[in-house]
Structure 1
Amino acid sequence: MKLRFGVTAAEKKAWIVFFILLGLTAAVLIISAGLGQRFIPPWDVAKTFFGAGSKLDELMIMSFRMPRILTALCAGVCLAAAGAILQGLVRNPLASPDIIGITGGAAVAVVLLMMFFSDRSSSLTISLSWLPAAAFIGASAVGLIVYLLAYKNGASTFRLVLIGIGFSMSAQAMTTLLMIKGPIYRASQANVYITGSVYGSNWQHVKIAVILSVILLFICFIALKNMNIQVLGEDIAAGAGSAVQRNRFFLLLLSTALTGCAVSVAGTIGFVGLMAPHIARRLVGSSYGALLPASALIGALLVLTADIVGRTLFAPVEVPAGVFTAAIGAPYFIYLLYKTRNS
């Protein structure tokens, strides 16, 4: 149904949902910036953002709280976007970077880097910029191997998921082995990392995460047409003139890059890539022009909310954000398995 100025009812609904999600994200960001050992009221947080806050508020918010908030936002956005791409790519609602092994591959690479290039204080002896590189290499290696093993006269979506789950289990075993064999001070650092946490994030993490997120999301929006065509199925996509296998490989590579970006700064925060696209699809439909930004904002909200709960529920002890996303995501995954058991 067309409304005035050629805007459909679905498009109008998508815009409304987008602005609501944007407002919710901004509200949660302000609340998160005010929470901590020293509570800062939301209006004082807003004043600080506009340069009218006190020096103490500015120090607390800009030096200690904003880096982890922005890191959580970037991680959530990247994981959700990667999940949305993968679910459309394999046309399977159970697909996500952590379930088909891409997150695990990135985690193995980063834990290896931590094991070999950190000192007794658990500080890296190399530049932080190597973490995204290692995560991307690990994620891409697993993604490529899974794709090649699933390829037989074209990459079967069913084989992609099945082989990916096997690699996910293998990656978990590898990270556990590295932690057991490595020194205790490195194992403890790696354990927090593979659980998924933005604790200890600094502005260098933010710089890396924001730059990579912006570049990768820009590429995502350029590739929207290819994403929509892939959802139609291989035969229809080929009939529409799409280079199916080339586009499928490109989208798989794009999802691994997004996953690598998230894992490098926040660890393996599970189930965000599974839940966010599902929630977004219920709100705005399956067209990627609306689905991708909605998924990204929902992913940001999930990780940021999980981080707030993790650092306030059991204060002064901090619980990694990945624990809470898994607590919600695991039952949701079981629900999806039950719902799609006859599909």
Structure 2
Amino acid sequence: MTAPVHDRGTRVAGNGLDHGYRAVALRLPRVSALLSARSLAICASLVIATVVLGVVSLGLGTYPVPLDEVIGALLGTADDQARMLVVGWRLPRALFAIACGVALAVSGAIFQSLTRNPLGSPDIIGFSSGSYTGAIAVMLLLGSTRYLDIAAGAIVGGVVTAAVVYLLATRNGSVQSFRLIIMGIGVAALLSSLNSALMLSVSVDTAMLAAVWAAGSFNALGHEQLWPMVALLAVMLAALAALAPGLRQLELGDDAARSLGLPANRVRAAAVVLGVALTALVTAAAGPISFVALAAPQIARRLVRGSGLLLVPSAVVGAFTLLASDVLAQRVGMPVGVVTVSLGGAYLAWLLISEFRRRT
């Protein structure tokens, strides 16, 4: 059950604590939490906006479908042509955009929490490049285009890259966030050269196929690719939910976390593997899609005016952002990866300028 709390900001009913903001106390048999009323309102609004945008997107395309027929197709009352267009072709794409947005945003929130730096995103610190390298190695060297094979290659590539970056960034037994980002940028540049070499080592037709996939697109993805991806995402999110309290303790510092009995290194390693796996899951399905993992957690932080690990707000922001980017990509005739890079590049420039001004 939930108990609303009032009285100038947040006063938890029955204990007399004022937390300085309006909130709702969540009390379940084994779980209790204090949820910001602003965060709940923002998340609910974004969920509604995502659903509305998703329904509208189902009617867009070469053959437009009126909104009433879209709703009829979803309810099973429309004709066969409308059901094929809406449910068979367009619905999987919209669901893929939402699921991939959630995965990327949550992955970005994990790494930004671990590094305590807004630039600590898998895009920036090279983990996405490692997943991309593993995926194209499976495609180009092993000749496999099966989703599970590409996903396995992407996860292995991302985990190996993460291990190398963390090893290079470790000094005196601790990982420094600034060194992590710098080393990650260097490793990402090295992997980019390796990817180019792999492209040059195969036939032109195979390289072109990999290049099209590398643009990042939800084209040609259907129900047969959607449901395995959603099942894997659900498992990873459940594992992350169990790991989230430990991640929040790590934000206090390793010494404080260890004093509370937390195995800091094991929790950090598990979080890195989960974050890489979430990025690899998207890379295997749609190719590399950049900047959602970087931008979504920071946008969520500003919307809810919160701090620390914001998994749910980041997830809903990521879902809406990637779905909106895909709708725009369809209208302009580009892969969604091109749109996110264009918008994300502008956001990254603004973020760097803001961080520079804040530190000077």
TM-score normalised over the length of structure 2: 0.87
In 2, the alpha carbon distance for the partners of 1:183 and 1:4 equals: 65
2:109 is matched with which residue?
Answer: 84
Counterpart of 2:22 (choices 9, 23, 31) is: 9
CA RMSD of aligned residues (A): 1.9
In 2, the alpha carbon distance for the partners of 1:295 and 1:3 equals: 26
- The Cα shift of 1:287 comes to 4.6
**Where do 4+ consecutive residues of structure 1 move more than 6 Å?**
none
In 1, the alpha carbon distance for the partners of 2:133 and 2:219 equals: 20
2:340 counterpart of 1:340: no
In 2, the alpha carbon distance for the partners of 1:72 and 1:205 equals: 13
How many pairs align?
331
1:243 is matched with which residue?
Answer: 263
- The Cα shift of 1:269 comes to 0.6
Higher strand fraction (1 or 2): 2
1:121 is matched with which residue?
Answer: none
**Identical counterparts, % of pairs:** 31
- The Cα shift of 1:4 comes to 7.4
2:335 is matched with which residue?
Answer: 320
Q: Structure 2: which amino acid aligns with 1:163?
A: M
| 1:267-306 alignment, distance < 5 Å | 267-284=287-304, 285-288=306-309, 291-306=310-325
Structure 1: 5+ residue runs without aligned partners? 119-123
In 2, the alpha carbon distance for the partners of 1:179 and 1:110 equals: 12
2:28 is matched with which residue?
Answer: none
2:100 counterpart of 1:100: no
In 1, the alpha carbon distance for the partners of 2:192 and 2:93 equals: 25
| 1:40-119 alignment, distance < 5 Å | 40-118=65-143
In 1, the alpha carbon distance for the partners of 2:234 and 2:175 equals: 29
- The Cα shift of 1:12 comes to 1.3
- 1:71/1:205 contact within 8 Å kept: no
Q: Structure 2: which amino acid aligns with 1:26?
A: V
Q: Which has the higher contact order (CA 8 A, sep 6+)?
A: 1
Counterpart of 2:344 (choices 323, 329, 337) is: 329
| 1:163-312 alignment, distance < 5 Å | 163-284=183-304, 285-288=306-309, 291-312=310-331
1:18 is matched with which residue?
Answer: 43
Q: Structure 2: which amino acid aligns with 1:2?
A: T
In 2, the alpha carbon distance for the partners of 1:230 and 1:42 equals: 48
Post-superposition CA distance 1:282-309 (Å, at most 9, x none): 1221253xx2111111111222111111
2:166 counterpart of 1:147: yes
In 2, the alpha carbon distance for the partners of 1:217 and 1:175 equals: 30
2:156 is matched with which residue?
Answer: 137
In 2, the alpha carbon distance for the partners of 1:205 and 1:103 equals: 21
Instruction: Judge which range, 267-276 or 71-80, deviates more.
Output: 71-80
Secondary structure of the 1:340 match is helix
- The Cα shift of 1:278 comes to 0.4
Post-superposition CA distance 1:149-193 (Å, at most 9, x none): 223312222222221111111122222222223212122221122
Structure 2: 5+ residue runs without aligned partners? 1-8, 24-35
Higher helix fraction (1 or 2): 1
In 1, the alpha carbon distance for the partners of 2:116 and 2:308 equals: 13
Q: Structure 2: which amino acid aligns with 1:159?
A: R
Cα distance change on mapping 1:51 and 1:4 into 2, 3 Å: farther
Cα distance change on mapping 1:4 and 1:149 into 2, 3 Å: closer
- The Cα shift of 1:24 comes to 0.9
Post-superposition CA distance 1:103-135 (Å, at most 9, x none): 1011111111221344xxxxx5x5322121111
- The Cα shift of 1:250 comes to 1.6
Secondary structure of the 1:223 match is helix
Q: Structure 2: which amino acid aligns with 1:172?
A: S
- The Cα shift of 1:326 comes to 1.0
Q: Structure 1: which amino acid aligns with 2:240?
A: C
Secondary structure of the 2:261 match is coil
- 1:155/1:245 contact within 8 Å kept: no
In 1, the alpha carbon distance for the partners of 2:165 and 2:242 equals: 25
Q: Structure 2: which amino acid aligns with 1:93?
A: P
Secondary structure of the 2:147 match is coil
Instruction: Judge which range, 35-44 or 82-91, deviates more.
Output: 35-44
Secondary structure of the 1:232 match is coil
Cα distance change on mapping 1:60 and 1:117 into 2, 3 Å: farther
- The Cα shift of 1:47 comes to 2.0
In 1, the alpha carbon distance for the partners of 2:196 and 2:219 equals: 21
